[in-house]
Structure 1
Amino acid sequence: MPFPYKKDITGGELVAEYAPIIKGKTILTTGVSPNSLGARYVETLAAAQPKLLILAGRDLAKVNQTAEAINKAHPDVKTKVLQLDLSSFASARKAAAEVNSWDDVPAIDVLMNNAGIMAVEYKICEDGYESQLTCNHLSHFLFTNLILDKVLASELKRIVNVSSGGHWFSGIRYADLNYDGGKTYEKWNAYGQSKTANILFSIGLAKRFGDRGVLAYSLNPGAIITNLGAHLDFAPGGDLEVLARVSRMTGSPFGWEQEKEMLTHEQGIATHVFASFDPVLKEHNGAYLLEKAQVADYYVDTVSPHAISEIEAKKLWDLSVKAVGL
């Protein structure tokens, strides 16, 4: 069910449209280092005079760069920085405890779980799980649940998990989450597992907390060049060719596109803004959203069935609770 936005809609245009809703709100965003979609999202939101932008990330020096850019352009908009290393459950717990201790922040209107890693070499994090699943899903799952009371205290009660079309590459590998110590590891497959988890997590949130007003969404921002892929090898025979091969092997529709349209950062954050503030989305709780501010049509090749099953969502929720020790 597409929304009637023009083809090249930008985040800035949607911020202007939703300005009365954004004004006075508190938004917490993970992954806001310079040249990221998270940074562009918060910098664009600042024009609509939110009450507070909470900026979370592993590297506080980079987070502070984004905070300084906001403060320079919009000195009337308050910011707070929060250290959050998603490779560590202890860091997620510490960051959540800090947020919960802020008496001057009684509510969080939008929680934008934007941070992530993509197609990295095999690594097991300190808590015993593969790094992409840990950083992209499990730590966000833990952090979100620990600060949920702040979201429930808000007016909007929105939680957004940034996924990807790469979710096609894998469902949840319940029998082999850690890729048999690396023996079965394929970095795009592992990325796909974590991005499927983002979609299922949103379904789980909507299912469990929708009756208390929580609205949860996942999204695919589109193909955009950001620092997320700075480590990739773009030479012939490199990561892009591997990506194309994995896409075809897993049946992803993107593997058969002749040419993928690349979006600008401004176009890329349009769906971030749409998910955060569009009033009509109340009718689509738990939905997966597409680039250029669209609601995915589950009956065409925009989302894999393994990512939208309520059975899978429940299985992942139970797995995640056990994994993070909630």
Structure 2
Amino acid sequence: MSAQAPIASPFTASSTAQEVIAGIDLSGKCAVVTGGYAGLGLETVRVLRLAGAQVIVPARDLEKARRNLADMPDVRIEPLDLMDPTSIDDFAGRVLADHPTLDLLINNAGTMAGPLLRDGRGYESQFSTNVLGHFHLTCRLWPALTAAQGARVVALSSANHHADIAALLHDPNFARRPYDPWQAYAQSKAATALFAVALDALGRSKGVRAYPVHPGGIFETDLARHMDPAIAEAYGMIDKEGRPIIAPEKGWKNSQQGAATTIWAATSPMLAAIGGVYCADCNISALVEPGNQALTTNAVSPSVIDQVSAGRLWQICEQLSGVALD
């Protein structure tokens, strides 16, 4: 693992994705952005495209994707359901047929704190979507990522990653314990960070680096649809009228600010020789202080960048999905 400590980034919590990508030319590069038709994903697609990248957006809701991306007609939209292994295989097959190299994979799509649902295999939906689906997709796109010789994979985690890692590794699908939507979300985001750490360790010799990213708290996206407004108000995310509060210094951001760390991790030359580090506010995060698990902190728990736990999580994903890196 590379050193998990801040570096001299010129950007801050208030920086926008467009500011971060200024001066970076992605002409001739190809990017896949899951969930790239709403919220943070839409802003991520917009700025990657402006920098010259060819962008592919996999979408479960094709009508919504076409509507939201109507002003970007050169963005390629393809069907994909992250909870459906066959859909993932079909999507990857179409991409690989046309793109022998893939420079950027942004695992941005996600679901948060919904009621208990299970996919066709019986796996809990947050783990299935946020973790297993992206694991499966990454494995299937691996030939194109390694062929790029310099590809980056960004996995969206969260400040809400403080989970019981032992419980995650022993019962990721809540088969032997009561389901709690927020506990399930936290463990999925802990697992997302562990996935990126493991991927970086496996990929660095092949030119692939990976980064778990905390975008900040963004209430104006579809991700917050299951959140009780009273909880959001108590945390300072919205005012009494239900309007999002934008205070990046406190961790609450708009979509342009929220996509900035994704873009920084995906494109910054400052990370050319660094990978496997958890990033927030366009920088490498510090380690969390003992006892501080506040959702507004940008620091990372040592438990979600632990190499041993990352390796175990990777093995579990292989077992549950039935896929592995080629």
Name the TM tier (shorter chain). Answer: 0.7 to 0.9
Greater relative contact order: 1 or 2 (C-alpha under 8 angstroms, separation 6 or more)?
Answer: 2
Aligned partner of 1:317 among 297, 314, 325? 314
Aligned partner of 1:298 among 283, 287, 292? 287
Distance in 2 (CA, whole Å) between partners of 1:239 and 1:295 is: 27
Q: CA deviation at 1:45?
A: 2.0
Map of 1:249 onto structure 2: none
Q: Report matched runs for 1:101-112 at 5 Å.
A: 101-102=97-98, 105-112=99-106
Q: Report matched runs for 1:249-260 at 5 Å.
A: 260=250
Map of 2:89 onto structure 1: 93
1:13 maps to 2:27: no
Ranges in structure 2 where 5+ consecutive residues have no aligned partner: 1-5, 237-248, 293-298
Q: What amino acid sits opposite 1:195 in the alignment?
A: K
CA distances 1:281-303 after superposition (whole Å, capped 9, x unpaired) = 1232111101x201012264611
Give me the TM-score of the superposition, normalised by structure 2: 0.85
Secondary structure at 2:229's aligned position in 1? coil
Secondary structure at 2:303's aligned position in 1? helix
Map of 2:124 onto structure 1: 130
Aligned partner of 2:226 among 228, 231, 234? 231
Distance in 1 (CA, whole Å) between partners of 2:318 and 2:258 is: 31
Contact 1:170 1:190 in 2 (8 A): no
Contact 1:89 1:127 in 2 (8 A): no
Contact 1:15 1:48 in 2 (8 A): yes
Map of 1:205 onto structure 2: 199
Distance in 1 (CA, whole Å) between partners of 2:12 and 2:227 is: 32
Map of 1:30 onto structure 2: 34
Map of 1:54 onto structure 2: 56
CA distances 1:226-256 after superposition (whole Å, capped 9, x unpaired) = 1111232213xx5776x89xxxxxxxxxxxx
Secondary structure at 2:273's aligned position in 1? helix
Secondary structure at 2:228's aligned position in 1? coil
**Cα RMSD over matched residues?**
2.0
Contact 2:117 2:125 in 1 (8 A): yes
Contact 2:288 2:302 in 1 (8 A): no
CA distances 1:36-70 after superposition (whole Å, capped 9, x unpaired) = 100111112222222x1101121111222233222
Q: What amino acid sits opposite 1:293 in the alignment?
A: C
Q: Using the aligned pairs only, state the percent identity.
A: 32
Contact 1:158 1:215 in 2 (8 A): yes
Secondary structure at 1:223's aligned position in 2? coil
Q: CA deviation at 1:319?
A: 0.6
Higher helix share: 1
Aligned partner of 2:45 among 38, 42, 61? 42
Distance in 2 (CA, whole Å) between partners of 1:196 and 1:6 is: 24
Q: Report matched runs for 1:67-82 at 5 Å.
A: 67-71=69-73, 78-82=74-78
Moved over 6 A (4+): none
1:185 maps to 2:179: yes
Q: What amino acid sits opposite 2:285 in the alignment?
A: A
CA distances 1:100-139 after superposition (whole Å, capped 9, x unpaired) = 222xx22111000000000011112112211100000001
CA distances 1:260-311 after superposition (whole Å, capped 9, x unpaired) = 4421111111101101111121232111101x20101226461112201100
Contact 1:32 1:66 in 2 (8 A): no
Aligned partner of 1:160 among 154, 167, 170? 154
Distance in 1 (CA, whole Å) between partners of 2:20 and 2:232 is: 34
The 1:154–1:66 alpha-carbon spacing in structure 2 relative to 1, beyond 3 Å, is farther
Secondary structure at 1:129's aligned position in 2? coil
Give me the TM-score of the superposition, normalised by structure 1: 0.85
CA distances 1:132-179 after superposition (whole Å, capped 9, x unpaired) = 000000011011001111111114311111110111144252332222
The 1:297–1:64 alpha-carbon spacing in structure 2 relative to 1, beyond 3 Å, is same
Distance in 1 (CA, whole Å) between partners of 2:131 and 2:36 is: 17
Secondary structure at 2:196's aligned position in 1? helix
CA distances 1:11-53 after superposition (whole Å, capped 9, x unpaired) = 11112132x2x2221111000233x100111112222222x11
The 1:282–1:299 alpha-carbon spacing in structure 2 relative to 1, beyond 3 Å, is farther
